[in-house]
Amino acid sequence: MSRIELTGLRKHFGATPVLADVDLDIAPGEFCVFIGPSGCGKSTLLRIVAGLEEPSGGDILIEGKRVNDLAPAQRDIAMVFQSYALYPHMTVYENMAFGLRHLRLPKGELDRRVQVASASLRLTELLERKPAALSGGQRQRVAIGRAIVRKPKVFLFDEPLSNLDASLRVKTRVEIARLHRELGQVSMIYVTHDQVEAMTLADKIVLLRPLEGRAGVASIAQVGSPLELYHRPANLFVAGFIGSPS
């Protein structure tokens, strides 16, 4: 069974169509990357999966269950954004624990989850610091830690590395790949406009193309493994975007 199924998803803002004909399956544990030019609807599609945006049509299923009417917090999903708004007055520990406060976890479980996540992200030494005393890369790791402690089945990332400088981008990308292996059956959807990130991280790439007002034109240009898109682009748009020689 697929972890996530999108069927016939559509979205328009007013009269402007942004997404059309989106059908997509994401398996448990799959690392799926949404890529495409700026404004093609990557963030909108991610926000629809998260429940932050309502689709104009179509269904979102998580483990076979339709979740269109569920609030974001009820969807077993965690999201990491490009701007990782941490609470400035709280320590790293408190930032990571904050999202668990409603869960009424057994005593010790909250602390255990924060310790495990911070060890995995190499934040153990930094738990008492405030965000102002962290580097950009450390802050982004706290934002990822805050998502991990919730033990979601699905992880959504929207351009999580775009505020980092080049060398930190590479390091954090490697961390995210390692995290994905460690988490096992957690499915990830990762939005980027960076081909290198897409090619190195993805099991499956979903290349979106802008609709540019043409309702009914499919907004998914191609779905496939990085090698499939590179060696067998479905059309000129894909070939041009992925940069293969054909």
Q: What pairing do the DSSP bridges indicate for beta strands 65-66 and 77-80?
A: unpaired
Share of the chain residues as helix, strand and coil, in percent rounded to the nearest 5:
35, 25, 40
d(CA 41, CA 100): 31
Question: Which one, 8 or 213, has the nearer CB to ligand ADP?
Answer: 213
Question: Which one, 30 or 158, has the nearer CB to ligand ADP?
Answer: 158
From residue 234, give the alpha-carbon distance in Å to each of 36, 40, 203, 215, 223. Answer: 15, 18, 18, 21, 9
Q: Where are the alpha helices (DSSP H) in 70-185?
A: 92-98, 109-120, 136-148, 166-183
Question: Which one, 36 or 131, has the nearer CB to ligand ADP?
Answer: 36
Interaction partner, residue 246 (ligand ADP, Mg ion, none; CB < 5-8 Å by kind): none
Per CB under 6 A, 7 contacts ligand ADP: no
Q: Which of residues 20-79 bind ligand ADP (CB under 6 A)?
A: 36, 38-44
Q: Which of residues 8-27 bind ligand ADP (CB under 6 A)?
A: 13, 18
Question: Which one, 36 or 131, has the nearer CB to Mg ion?
Answer: 36
CB of 118 to Mg ion, least distance (A): 29
Q: What pairing do the DSSP bridges indicate for beta strands 57-62 and 204-208?
A: unpaired
End-to-end CA distance of the chain: 35
Question: Which one, 36 or 226, has the nearer CB to ligand ADP?
Answer: 36
Question: What is the Cα Rg of the chain in Å?
Answer: 18
Interface ranges with Mg ion (CB under 5 A): 43
| H or E element, residue 190 | strand 187-191
Interaction partner, residue 18 (Mg ion, ligand ADP, none; CB < 5-8 Å by kind): ligand ADP
Per CB under 6 A, 219 contacts ligand ADP: no
CB of 193 to ligand ADP, least distance (A): 7
Per CB under 6 A, 192 contacts ligand ADP: no
Residues interacting with ligand ADP, by CB under 6 A?
13, 18, 36, 38-44
